[in-house]
Every structure is written in C-alpha cells, then in structure tokens.
Structure 1
Amino acid sequence: MTSGRDLCCGEDAALLHAFLDGELDAANSLRCEAHVALCPACAAELDRLRALRDLLARDGVAWRAPASLRAKVLASLADEAGRAARAGEAAPARPLAPNGWAARLHGAARRWTGVPAGLALAASLALAVLVMRPDQGPDLPGQLVAGHVRSLLASHLTDVRTSDQHVVKPWFSGKTDFSPPVVDLDDRGFSLVGGRLDYVENRVVAALIYMRRGHVINLFLWPSDGRRPTAGARDGYNILGWRQAGLAFWAVSDLNAVELKEFQDDFAERSPR
C-alpha cells in the first residue's frame, strides 16, 4: 500500500490487476473488494478488466502454453540461482537458524505480500538454491521440501483442482512420461485436492495433493531408478518415501509422522502394485 492513499485508486490502480488475478493475500483482497464496492470508478475499471480477460480467453485468441513449459522455466530459474550461488562460494557460509531454510522461505513470503505470484515463485526458488551448502550437491530431501514450500508460497498448489480422481489422472496424460496412479482416500480422512507438475532431480514429476484437517500433503512421484526411498524430517516437515509398481513415491507434509504413515499405507493399498 502506498502513502495512505485509498486502495486501488490513483497509483494503486495496478492492484486491480493483482486482485482480479487472485495474486493478493487474503487481507488485501478483502480490503480491495470492500473498496471496489464503494468506488464507482474502480468498480467500472474492474468490470472493464474482466471483460478484457474474457475477450482474450476466447477460442482463437488465447493460446495456453503447455504445462511442461512451466517445469522448464522452474528449472531455468534454479540453474540461474545455482550459478549465482557458485559465484559467491568464496564468501564463508553463515550457519542457518535452527528452523532452516524453509523457515526463511516462509519469512520471505510474509515480506512479499501483494507481490505477483510469479515473482514470489522466482524469488523463493532462488533463495532455496542459495542457502544450500555448495559441497552438498543435489539434495533430494531438500528439493522435495522446497517443492512443497514453493507450492504454498506461490499460491500454485494445483494445476488441476478437483477431488475427482477420474479427472486428475487423465490430466497428466501427455504431460509426463508415465501414468501416475490417483486414488480416492476421502473415506480414510485424506481428501484429494488435485494435481500439478513439478521439477525434481532434473526431471518433470507428478505431484498429487491431499489434505487432512488443513494439513497439505504433497505426494511427488516419478519412475523409480532403483534407489530405496527412506523416511525422515527436514525443517519441520516430515518426508516419507516408498517404491511401488516401478514408481518412486515421496510424501511431504507438516502432518505428524504417524498420520503420514497412515497416508502411505492407505495410498499403497489402493494403488496398483
């Protein structure tokens, strides 16, 4: 917000775009909505923007980039941040706080209130790479937690949002080189939220999203390379991995370890073996 001027008026008119695209945090979104209800000029501008968006979304006008492009962009951002990190290796590394780099990402998110989601995502990616120790190399648990945190920070938890497993599974067709199993666990207390593409260990992977009592579970999966997944914790998040039907599964959540194991057992029981 700038200089005490009314939200969405004058130099803050650009916030109407962020409001329309759902890029404001909850508090500022409510403030903007309340202001628009009382300001005819802003209400008219918002209607104009909505009409323009609908016009651009018509067939023959809009072209939706493939989901694989998003994964390539994420990889490019990570590579660029990695080069920046290597350039600064001469500087002594400062020890991380007890909560680790994931806590830094959360702190950064609080400072990015109102910043478009794309910029927040790029910054969180860069921060996730910069705080890794250069001598550790690729860190799978760290990448998994980074993917989990990114999905929460950038308000991009899903590419396809639905609780219907018969919609989520075919959505991945043509976007991944394998067919991820999608199971309904609602009767077990784990609600399917949807799915998305992510990027782990230099490859596009599938991510299935489940929820339990407000706790998000990111289930990353891709063809197994024979390594034996393990269980552990990183920066306050529990990580649980297993292999099944030629795939590697990794569940990441702030849900307690006992219930995360219940999730694994229930998912494994209902998916192909």
Structure 2
Amino acid sequence: MKPNTQQLQELTVQVRRDILRMVHAVNSGHPGGSLGCTEFFVTLYQHLMNRKEGFDMDGKNEDVFFLSNGHISPVFYSVLARSGYFPVSELATFRLLNSRLQGHPTTHEGLPGIRMASGSLGQGLSVALGAAQAKKLNKDLNLVYALLGDGELQEGQNWEAIMYAAAKNVDNIIATVDLNGQQIDGSTDEVLNMGSVKAKFEAFGWDVLDIKEGNNIDAIIAGMTDAKSRTGKGKPVCVLLHTEMGNGVDFMMHTHAWHGKAPNDEQLANALGQNPETLGDY
C-alpha cells in the first residue's frame, strides 16, 4: 500500500534532518538543492516509481531513475536508505574516506540504488536515454526517470541529448528539471540566462508540463501522474519542477548561498528546530 500524503510529509521532514546532519558532520556537501528536491525524491520513490525488491543494475521490469545533478547526493542517499536500499545507519559515513556515500554518487563502491556516476554535470540525460532505448529493445514497458538541474542545462551535451530523444521518439522517459533559479555563482538568470526552458524543450520536440508547486507533495503526485499518462505517445516528456532551494529551512531559502555550504553548529540547531524528528535520526 502506498503511503498517504501525511506519511510522505513525515518522511520529507526526516529526510531534511538527514541532509542537514550529513553535511554538517563533515562540513561539506550541498544542502540547498537537496532540500529543494526533498519532496520530489520522497514522492518519486515512495509513491510514483514501480520498484522491485532489492537492486540490480539491469533494472529489468521496473522503473529506473538517474540523477544527473549528482551534487545533491545527500537527498538521494537519504531517500534510498529510507526506501530500503541500504541501512539508514550508513548515512553517518557520508563523504568519509572509504565510504560508499561519496560527495558525488559513483558506481564502483556498489552502493545499491546508484545506476551512474554523476557530478560532472550534463551527462545524466544521455545515460537515461540509453537505458530508455534498452527498455524498448527488451520490450520492457516500464519507465526511465531522470533529474537535471536548471543551471546544468547550460551544459551543451544536454541539448544534444534533448534533440536525440525527440528525433528517435524515446517516449518512455520522463526528464524532470529542478527549476529553482539558483546555481553556485548566483541566479541562473545572472550566470547565463536561458530564456524560456519550456519553449526550448518544446522547440526540440518534447511534451512539456509544469509543476508550479514543486515543494507540494500533492502537486507533485498530480503533475507526475499527468506526465506518466503522456508517455508512450511518440514524444519524450519533460517536467519543469518549480522548487525553492533550501526549502524547509528559512535562512537557506531565497538565496544561492547554501548551494554548497554546510551549516555551523548554531545554524544546524536552528534548522533542525524547524524540522522536528519524525521517523528517527540515524
């Protein structure tokens, strides 16, 4: 049975705590984008994806997910652990030497749930498209999901992949773009204004929809369910997820400052006070 909205919200708050504690413990990591995508990851893994028990790299007869903007690994690791892929206690090893939970996800440690090394931006959609075409060859009707950052779209390889997907009618993929308007050096408009991302994807032949409330679980469920209904119709599907970087921690929101900075002791206490423990800390 799928969890209800209240249960998803409780998990979201606990994942926020995980993110904050992980980056604070090693004074390193990327809390801003992780917090902004927490509702999305929780909803994707707990409600939307067709997942099998256990993990294998083939991913046959189940939906698969690829994280392209790999620097938001804290949210990815937390949700994977709390979805049963590996022990929640392992979150305490984040970014430590010889840990399976490196700052950017990699595959050679064999961490369950990780399907590609990511962190060198712009590559995830290409990998996801390869998986989507493999599913078609295998007559596997399940879907491929990918998450990209909006600043990441400034990388040229994305647009080759976007062009390819439409030209080859790869219609079993849902690529979500985290539109938080922030990147490491400032707002995306200041760093490199991309104009209308929606118009660009549509010009490249994609079916595009917006989730205006990208930090609202019910809105994510509705929007992603709509996206799933659009697959299999000859076009790749893009979801523009409008989120707030640092969501859930008031002093981390409405700024790019927390893209890649860990909170100090006082800031951690403040942030955790805004996100009371719900399911138990690691």
Range class of TM-score, shorter chain: under 0.3
User: What is the TM-score when the length of structure 1 is the normalising length?
Assistant: 0.25
Q: Answer with 1 or 2: which has the greater Rg.
A: 1
User: Greater strand share, 1 or 2?
Assistant: 1
Greater RCO, 1 or 2 (C-alpha within 8 Å, sep 6+): 2
TM-score (norm 2): 0.25
